[in-house]
Structure formats: C-alpha cells, structure tokens
Amino acid sequence: MNKITIAIDGYSSTGKSTVAKQIAKYLGYVYVDSGAMYRAITYFAMQKGFINNDDFNKEALIYNLPKVKVSFKFNEDLGFAEVYLNDVNIENDIRTLAVSNFVSKVAAVSEVREQLVKQQQQMGENKGVVMDGRDIGTVVFPRAELKLFMTASAEKRALRRYDELIERGDAVSYDDVLKNVQERDYIDSNRKDSPLIKAKDAIEIDNSNLSLDEQFNKILQLAKMTIEGLE
C-alpha cells in the first residue's frame, strides 16, 4: 500500500493532536506533534532564565540553540511518542499554561523555526507520517498528499483546553485559558515567518460541533480516499 504524508494544521485546541494520533495508529504511521517541539524549546528558555515574567531574551536563546536537542521516544503504554529535551522526558512539563503563554513568542523566532523545520522534514522523509502544527501543509511538507485545516470557535476550544488543564490539576481560570487561546491565534496568524494560514489545497474542517468519533471517521475516510487514489 502507498504511504502518504498527512499534514494537519489549525488553531489551538481544535483536536489536531487527538485525531492525528488516532489516524497514525489506525494506519500504522508515525505521529509527530510539532507543537511539542516548540513547547520544548520554550521550556528550555524558561529553565535557563531567558524568559522572565514578560521579558524574553531572544538573543540568549538563539545563541544557545545549538545546545538544544529535542527528540521523541515511543511509549508503549501510552501508545504515542513522548518529547525529550536533551534526553530528559519533559512530556508533562510542556503542557502548562505558563509554557502556553510564551510558546507563540518563541515560535515566531526564525532561528528556532529553521532548526525545528529541518528536523521535522527529516522525520517525514519516508512518508507514512501524520504531523500536526501550524505550518505543516504550507512549509514543512508543502507536497503532502493530504492536508487538513482544523477550526472551531474560540470559546469551544478554550473550554476543551480548560477541562484538560483542570483534569491535570492545574489551577487555571476559563478566562485565562480563553485569553491564551486568542492571543496565540493572533500571534501565530500574524507572524512574519510561516504564519498560520490554510494551504490552498487544504481541506477545512470546522469541528465546533463534531464529536471526537465523528471527526476521526471523517478524516479517516479522507485518508483512505487519498491512499486509494494513488493506487
């Protein structure tokens, strides 16, 4: 069977990573969470003190980038790959609102993008990959056979993310999560380097009113049709 590349882009908390994991598992493909890589670099910058309250020492981060190794290791129990920073598992440390509040500023730095895009392209060299993010269909894999662009109302997305953070035990307010979602949408869509835009050949899916099952079935059908179309 022909292997394809599936690029899933879209706004925060639209269910990209949930559906990407499900599709990769079903097809026996590799799933790559490109957002986790930007979060890992943000976490590194916070640990090193390059980010302090509202102050971001961009130059210090750029200078230290060659020392940052972001990698993934598959966790059999969880069924997906966890993210590592210089060989330390940081999967649980990168999903906090504190990291979310800075990640879009770090992701707007061209040197950061250059390093991560190169690595992402290497991970997808042999196809059979489902990658989700903001610039996968436009920059990382512009020739991906299937491109999806996920949207949903900001309020729905914030509520989904809020529920997730509360379940993890993070004491956050819905208003702060909504503010973060809206701010990231704005920065991600308006940055100079690789802004979040729908690729011309991407299929847009608004999942405001789709359940996880409905969303999975819809996207699986699209993936199967794309694969069959190549045979």
Does the annotation flag 16 for ligand binding? yes
Residue/partner pairs of 115-120 with CB below 8 Å, 24 or more apart: 115/65, 115/68, 116/34, 116/37, 116/38, 116/41, 116/70, 117/194, 119/37, 119/70, 120/32, 120/34, 120/37
Nearer Cβ to ligand CDP (22/230):
22
Nearer Cβ to ligand CDP (183/229):
183
Tell me which of 24, 40, 129, 210 binds ligand CDP, using CB under 6 A.
210
Interatomic CA distance for residues 192 and 1, integer angstroms: 39
Can residue 72 be called a binding residue for ligand CDP (CB under 6 A)? no
User: Minimal CA–CA distance to 9: which of 114, 107, 130?
Assistant: 130
Amino acid identity, position 148: L
CA 124 → CA 1, 120, 198, 202, 207, distances in Å? 17, 6, 20, 18, 26
Does the annotation flag 49 for ligand binding? no
Q: Do the bridges between strand 203-206 and strand 146-151 make them parallel or antiparallel, or are there none, so unpaired?
A: parallel
Within 10 A of 139 (CB to CB), how many other CB atoms are there?
Answer: 19
Nearer Cβ to ligand CDP (212/230):
212
As measured in angstroms, the least distance from the Cβ of 1 to ligand CDP is: 26
Does the annotation flag 208 for ligand binding? no
As measured in angstroms, the least distance from the Cβ of 67 to ligand CDP is: 20
As measured in angstroms, the least distance from the Cβ of 74 to ligand CDP is: 18
Tell me which of 93, 164, 176, 206 binds ligand CDP, using CB under 6 A.
164
User: What does the per-residue mask of binding to ligand CDP show for 19-38, with x meaning CB under 6 A?
Assistant: ---------------xx--x
Binding site for ATP: residue ranges? 10-18
Binding site: residue ranges? 10-18
